A = this chain, B = another copy of it.
């Protein structure tokens, strides 16, 4: 082997063995330069630099993301709520009694005041009617089919186009730096798993969420997991750190949210030893998206915003920090 050959071979081997070093300048194009982007990059470089005192081995690089309002839009209502309302309309011909039976009547007549008056009991009935009585696999198909045809009421685009491009880039940037990215959402786990891999690059086994009860049953001699009425787990607020322990079994080193429902997840992440990164997406852009926080019925951000200020967590100012909002934007 000539010296030149040897040096090329050596270069190739080194290049192929090195962990891919992805620079934020290339990886986060939808983030404007400024303190928010710098804080993200500084954290990732610190924990991935072997010589750094803050180095974290790849196996422990767990990053958790809320979904509604953090990875995709949650206004004017949670996407899963839009699914419930559509689904009631789709199923209505098989349930003539719903025309005069609450909470279904309210949904069919578009009477949101009457719907709100039904409270939690009404919500539980709607979820049972739309989310149970079929196998897990059938429900996957129902959700997948709905997402193909449903359009956001304001933006007239598929909901999966309304994921935040800067967050999609952030997920990929973290993964290219050895992080394992998880969703930890108050939403239903089976409402997310059919599409998170394609849209976010997050496989079903890395989605933690709320869930209903399941029953192992034999249907036509074949085993099936049937979705039955009843709540098994609510992955919201203090439920989020519990969900993390149940499903992941490791404390994350980075947590990303946007509302008070993410507060305990960020607190739990912050309380571990070594370097930590906590971020809140603050919805400040009423031109390109929405502006809301302390008084919003959806995605209320109040106590967690105060805690973020007090503890110097990173807060994204959507209007200032993002030069692009939606992945599917023209």
Copies of chain A in the complex: 2
Whether A245 contacts B136 by the Cβ 8 Å rule is: yes
CB < 8 Å neighbour of A5 from B4, B203, B211 = B4
CB < 8 Å neighbour of A193 from B9, B62, B207, B249 = B249
Binary interface profile of A, 199-240, with partner B (CB < 8 Å = 1, else 0)?
A: 000011101000100111000001111000000100000110
Q: Which residue of B lies closest to A15 (CB)?
A: B16
Q: Which residues of A (46-68) have their CB < 8 Å from a CB of B?
A: 59, 62
Binary interface profile of A, 233-274, with partner B (CB < 8 Å = 1, else 0)?
A: 000001101100111111000000000000010011001000
| Complex interface: chain B residues within 8 A of A197 (CB) | 59
Binary interface profile of A, 8-25, with partner B (CB < 8 Å = 1, else 0)?
A: 110011001000000000
| Complex interface: chain B residues within 8 A of A245 (CB) | 136, 214, 225
A2 interface hit (Cβ, 8 Å): yes
For the complex, give the distance between the alpha carbons of A1 and B12 in Å.
Answer: 14
A189 interface hit (Cβ, 8 Å): yes
For the complex, give the distance between the alpha carbons of A5 and B5 in Å.
Answer: 5
Q: Which residues of A (160-198) have their CB < 8 Å from a CB of B?
A: 180, 189-190, 193, 197
Q: Which residues of chain A have a CB within 8 Å of any CB of chain B?
A: 1-2, 4-5, 8-9, 12-13, 16, 59, 62, 136, 180, 189-190, 193, 197, 203-205, 207, 211, 214-216, 222-225, 232, 238-239, 241-242, 245-250, 264, 267-268, 271
